[in-house]
């Protein structure tokens, strides 16, 4: 459904030329959900803006739903839904009027357009807001309306640029449940960006990590986490004075890496953290180290980015 080759976008500024996207090659299969992950300024939104025909390509090629983005942008727009970071709705209309007007723009007859608007009002928890002026909606309500507008024509490809930004946890969960239903029932192809790493982990079949305008990793969440050397094991000490001894014990465990004492805890990475924990407890006890507890954490996508770049995705998102 999506294919890019050497996709490139540069901008001219007062300080020279900025390469926002540097030769991205990307293939997305029909019905696949792909998350673009990276810090602010990595090139994610610029990539989406090119694929949705909002920015011209500087170099390279891109096809979406079988149509060339540069040569046939109108055909691409007919086949996609795009939900950007800003609000796409108009303050002068009511919610159902806005959805009906959007459906009419995509060629639905009047009655079918209203029916489609009513369906989306129910599906996206906008019930009770149909006759409200768009200007009176809360940020979360308006975000759900933006999503409904992008889906009104049942597009086979949907681009979501940080769609859950500003939503409360309940609304976020409902949003992703709706996206999952679209995939399951309609075979919709989804490309998304998000700063919520848990969303990328659970909502995406594949994660593409972008940094400085280039793809630096591509795979399923589990495949990418496999690049991190093991689970993170945290050993909580009853006495911080035992930290040097506990660190030595941890360093001697088979496969242990990155042993790091910090006050009354010692952290290290090891494959199969759950199975190693009993061995850790026995070894600490034999060395006379008293424990308050142990914790095992599976690698996260932030750990993947940290391993690949030495930087945290969360730091980039906060900045």
Question: Comparing 192 with 167, which gets the higher pLDDT?
Answer: 192
**Do residue 154 and residue 292 come from a single domain?**
no
251 has a pLDDT exceeding 50:
yes
SS (H, E, C) 99-142: HHHHHHHCCCCHHHHHHHHHHHHHHCCCCCCCCCEHHHCCHHHH
**Do residue 158 and residue 122 come from a single domain?**
yes
124 has a pLDDT exceeding 50:
yes
Please give the tally of structural domains in the chain: 2
Whether 62 is in a domain gets the answer yes
Whole-number Cα distances in Å, 273 to 26, 222, 243, 245, 278: 34, 16, 20, 20, 10
107 has a pLDDT exceeding 90:
yes
Average pLDDT over residues 30-57: 94
**Do residue 82 and residue 155 come from a single domain?**
yes
CB 276 within 8 A of CB 253: yes
316 has a pLDDT exceeding 70:
no
Q: What is the pLDDT of residue 318?
A: 46
Whether 316 is in a domain gets the answer no
Whether 89 is in a domain gets the answer yes
Q: What's the rounded Cα separation, in Å, for the pair 156 and 114?
A: 21
pTM: 0.84
319 has a pLDDT exceeding 70:
no
pLDDT bracket for residue 310 (50, 70, 90): confident
**Do residue 207 and residue 259 come from a single domain?**
no
| Residue 172 belongs to domain with CATH number | 3.40.50.300
Q: What's the rounded Cα separation, in Å, for the pair 94 and 91?
A: 8
List residues bridging with 18 in a β-sheet.
11
Contacts for 5-8: CB closer than 8 Å, 24+ residues apart: 5/60, 5/61, 5/62, 6/59, 6/60, 6/61, 7/47, 7/50, 7/57, 7/59, 7/60, 7/61, 7/62, 8/57, 8/58, 8/59, 8/60
Helix count (H) and strand count (E) of the chain? 12, 14
**Do residue 214 and residue 238 come from a single domain?**
no
Q: What is the pLDDT of residue 36?
A: 95
**Do residue 77 and residue 124 come from a single domain?**
yes
| Residue 281 belongs to domain with CATH number | 3.30.70.100
Best CA proximity match to 292, nearest among 246, 248, 260, 258:
246
Q: What's the rounded Cα separation, in Å, for the pair 69 and 181?
A: 27
Whether 266 is in a domain gets the answer yes
**Do residue 79 and residue 174 come from a single domain?**
yes
**Do residue 9 and residue 51 come from a single domain?**
yes
Whether 311 is in a domain gets the answer no
**Do residue 117 and residue 194 come from a single domain?**
yes
Whether 277 is in a domain gets the answer yes
Tell me the pLDDT of the chain averaged across its residues: 91
Average pLDDT over residues 15-27: 94
**Do residue 97 and residue 212 come from a single domain?**
yes
Whether 305 is in a domain gets the answer no
Domain boundary among 220, 252, 285: 220
pLDDT bracket for residue 92 (50, 70, 90): confident
Encode pLDDT of 127-139 as tens digits.
899 999 999 998 8
Average pLDDT over residues 282-308: 92
170 has a pLDDT exceeding 90:
no
Q: What is the pLDDT of residue 311?
A: 83
pLDDT bracket for residue 314 (50, 70, 90): low
CB 68 within 8 A of CB 77: no
**Do residue 122 and residue 173 come from a single domain?**
yes
Tell me the residue range of the domain where 186 lies.
Answer: 2-220
For 271, left (φ over 0), alpha (ψ -120 to 50), or beta? beta
Encode pLDDT of 184-218 as tens digits.
999 999 999 988 888 899 999 999 999 999 999 99
Encode pLDDT of 96-106 as tens digits.
999 999 999 99
Average pLDDT over residues 31-53: 94
Whether 170 is in a domain gets the answer yes
**Do residue 276 and residue 158 come from a single domain?**
no
Average pLDDT over residues 71-83: 95
């Amino acid at each position: 459904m999506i294919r890019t080759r050497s996709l490139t976008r540069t901008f001219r500024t007062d300080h020279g030329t900025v390469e926002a996207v540097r030769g991205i090659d990307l293939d997305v299969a029909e019905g696949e959900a792909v998350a673009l992950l990276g810090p602010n300024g990595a090139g994610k939104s610029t990539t989406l803006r090119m694929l949705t025909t909002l920015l011209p390509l500087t170099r390279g090629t891109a096809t979406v739903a079988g149509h060339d983005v540069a040569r046939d942008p109108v055909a691409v727009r007919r086949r996609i839904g795009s939900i950007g970071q800003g609000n796409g709705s108009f303050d002068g209309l009511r919610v159902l009027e806005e959805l009906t007007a959007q459906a009419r723009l995509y060629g639905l007859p009047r009655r079918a357009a209203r029916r489609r608007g009513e369906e989306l009002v129910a599906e996206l928890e906008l019930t009770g807001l149909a006759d409200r002026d768009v200007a009176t909606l809360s940020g979360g309500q308006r975000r759900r309306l933006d999503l409904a507008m992008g889906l009104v024509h049942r597009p086979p490809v949907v681009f979501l640029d940080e769609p859950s930004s500003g939503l409360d946890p309940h609304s976020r969960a409902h949003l992703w449940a709706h996206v999952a239903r679209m995939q399951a029932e309609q075979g919709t192809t989804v490309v998304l960006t998000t700063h919520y790493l848990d969303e990328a982990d659970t909502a995406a079949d594949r994660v593409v990590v972008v940094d400085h305008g280039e793809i630096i990793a591509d795979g399923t969440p589990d495949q990418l986490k496999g690049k991190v050397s093991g689970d993170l094991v945290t050993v909580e000490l009853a006495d911080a004075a035992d930290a040097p001894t506990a660190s030595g014990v941890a360093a001697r465990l088979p496969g242990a890496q990155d042993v790091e004492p910090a006050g009354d805890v010692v952290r290290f990475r090891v494959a199969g953290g759950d199975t190693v924990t009993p061995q850790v407890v026995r070894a600490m006890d034999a060395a006379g180290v008293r424990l308050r507890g142990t914790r095992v954490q599976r690698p996260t996508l932030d750990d993947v980015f940290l391993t690949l770049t030495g930087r945290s995705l969360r730091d980039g998102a906060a900045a």
